[in-house]
Each structure stands twice: as structure tokens, then as C-alpha cells.
């Protein structure tokens, strides 16, 4: 239960939202590094070779060290995978990605042949499409990533632009448990509070029955609780909401 008087709940919710924003900044920094490095590489390529998109290996060589440094972090690790999806003038695409599995950090090679059974159609994935439609950072999930992590995932993504042209999407797979446990700490002294994403799906909460991935509305119908205070976050479609009994 909350230790706050009702008049202080809104203020406490605002503080929790600020704490979450600070935590999300840890995700934004490596994505900003990818954006900067890839944008510079494309600009240099356009100036020297007359075309904007570099080769796969040029991209991999440019991004590799910063991606490896991001993944080489002590436990509990927040980011488990990171990389870039890009588009070219000929509308062909590419994906370069690094993963940390059991402390082994390596480049992950996805199957990008549409005729293969294990084809990873990332261009139609929610994280990719959401980034294309969003200004700023988007985080999708939790969802089961059958072709990426083979586990439940949260994926953060941000589109990379050059003037009015989309160059690609920088993205990172987050450890769901690490993220939700940290958010729980920010919410622990509040009344029943949920971090909601798109379609009011639960990202994290401080209530045992409000688990990640569930929709909030069935819980409200069952318990009779209602939304009390709401605090939007900078992540597209995210808000922090406290719940209270109906009058």
C-alpha cells in the first residue's frame, strides 16, 4: 500500500515518471551513437562515391566497437542486442546486429532471404514499423520474438533521417526482467500503478496480477478499479497510471 496521502500521489507519480525517463536515457544513448555514426558514414559515402548507402561490411565495421561496448556491461544487463536496419536507393535493405548470450557477445546473422523458412522479415516487424511512424524513441513489447531473441522482448527503436529521407532504424533488444524490476523499484511506494504502452498493454507494474503484456481493461472490469492519475512519458504511447477504487 502507498505511504502517500491522496494529495501527494500525483506528485509522487510525476517523480516516478522522471526516474523512468532517466532510466530510458540509458537506452537512448547507444541508439544515438549508432544514429550519429551511420549518418556520418552515409554523408561521407555520398560525398566521395556519389551514393549514400555504404556496404554491409562498411556499416558493420563502423558500428561494431560501440555496439560491443554497449553489450559488454555488468549484470544485470539492460540491453541484450543492438544494431541497425537500413534501406538503400534501390529499396534493398540490410540488418546488422550484435547479441549477448550467456556473456558471449557476437554478431548475429539473420536469414534475410524471403524464400527461406527462417526468413526474418524485420521490415514488417512492429519495432521497425513503429520507429518509421514515430518521432523520437519507441519501445514495443513485451512480445515473443521468434526470429530475433527467441524469448519475450522489449525492443527500443528510433528512425534515422537525412533531411526528409529515412536512412534506417537503430534498435536495441532489452532484457524484460531487468527493465521491469527496475521500474518496479520506482513504483514500489505508490498505490497500484502501471506503466502502459500502446493499446494499454502493461509494460510493468507494482501489482502481482498486472504482469507485462496483459491488457489493463479486463483487470479494471474485474476489480472495479479506475484510473486515478496519469503521467505521459516521452516514449511513444507510454503513460504511467495510478489506479484507485471507484467512488
Q: What is the pLDDT of residues 174-217, one digit of tens each?
A: 999 999 999 999 999 899 999 999 889 999 999 999 999 899 99
**Per-residue exposure over 184-218, b if at least 16 CB sit within 10 Å of its own CB, e if not:** eebbeebbbbbbbbbebbbbbbbbeebebebebee
Contacts of 95 (CB under 8 A, 6+ apart): 83, 84, 85, 86, 110, 112, 120, 122
Q: Residue 140's pLDDT is what?
A: 93
The pLDDT-based confidence of 2 (bands split at 50, 70, 90) is: very low
Q: Is the pLDDT of residue 45 over 70?
A: yes
Q: Is the pLDDT of residue 245 over 90?
A: no
What's the N-to-C CA distance of the chain in angstroms? Answer: 18
Strand partners, 81: 99, 173
Q: Residue 238's pLDDT is what?
A: 97
Average pLDDT over residues 93-120: 84
The top-scoring range by mean pLDDT among 6-10, 33-37, 243-247 is 33-37
Q: Which residue would you say has higher pLDDT here, 225 or 152?
A: 225
Q: In whole angstroms, give the CA distance from residue 227 to residue 142.
A: 22
The CA distances from residue 123 to 41, 94, 169, in Å, are: 22, 10, 10
Rounded to 5°, the CA angle 213-215-216 comes to: 125
Q: In whole angstroms, give the CA distance from residue 182 to residue 27.
A: 14
The CA distances from residue 230 to 66, 181, 199, in Å, are: 36, 21, 15
Q: In whole angstroms, give the CA distance from residue 31 to residue 131.
A: 12
Domains in the chain (CATH in brackets) are 19-175 (3.30.450.20), 178-245 (no CATH)
Q: In whole angstroms, give the CA distance from residue 116 to residue 8.
A: 56
Q: Residue 148's pLDDT is what?
A: 53
- C-beta separation of 151 from 159 below 8 A: no
Cα-based torsion angle of the residue sequence 132, 236, 70, 110 in order, rounded to the nearest 10 degrees: -40
Among 127, 128, 139, smallest CA distance to 237 is for 139
Cite the beta strand spans of the chain per DSSP E: 79-87, 93-101, 104-108, 138-145, 151-162, 165-174, 193-196, 202-205, 225-232, 239-245
Amino acid at each position: 500500500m502507498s505511504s502517500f496521502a491522496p494529495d501527494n500521489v500525483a506528485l509522487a507519480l510525476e517523480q516516478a515518471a522522471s526516474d523512468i525517463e532517466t532510466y530510458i536515457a540509458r537506452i537512448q544513448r547507444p541508439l544515438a551513437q549508432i544514429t550519429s555514426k551511420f549518418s556520418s558514414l552515409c554523408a561521407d559515402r555520398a560525398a566521395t562515391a556519389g551514393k549514400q548507402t555504404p556496404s554491409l561490411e562498411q556499416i558493420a565495421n563502423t558500428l561494431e566497437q560501440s555496439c560491443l561496448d554497449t553489450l559488454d556491461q555488468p549484470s544485470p544487463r539492460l540491453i541484450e542486442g543492438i544494431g541497425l536496419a537500413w534501406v538503400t536507393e534501390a529499396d534493398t535493405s540490410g540488418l546488422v546486429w550484435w547479441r549477448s548470450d550467456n556473456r558471449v557477445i557476437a554478431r548475429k546473422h539473420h536469414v534475410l532471404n524471403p524464400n527461406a523458412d527462417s526468413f526474418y522479415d524485420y521490415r514488417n516487424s512492429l519495432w521497425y514499423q513503429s520507429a518509421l511512424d514515430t518521432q523520437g524513441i519507441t519501445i514495443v513489447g513485451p512480445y515473443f520474438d521468434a526470429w530475433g531473441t527467441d524469448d519475450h522482448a522489449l525492443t527500443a527503436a528510433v528512425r534515422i533521417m537525412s533531411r526528409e529521407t529515412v536512412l534506417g532504424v537503430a534498435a536495441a533488444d532489452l532484457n524484460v526482467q531487468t527493465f521491469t524490476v527496475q521500474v518496479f523499484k520506482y513504483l514500489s511506494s505508490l498505490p497500484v500503478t502501471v506503466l502502459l504502452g500502446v493499446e494499454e498493454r502493461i509494460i510493468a507494474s507494482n501489482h502481482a496480477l498486472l504482469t507485462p503484456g496483459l491488457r489493463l481493461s479486463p483487470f479494471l472490469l474485474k476489480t472495479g478499479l479506475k484510473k486515478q492519475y496519469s503521467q505521459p512519458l516521452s516514449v511513444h504511447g507510454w503513460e504511467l497510471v495510478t489506479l484507485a477504487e471507484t467512488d
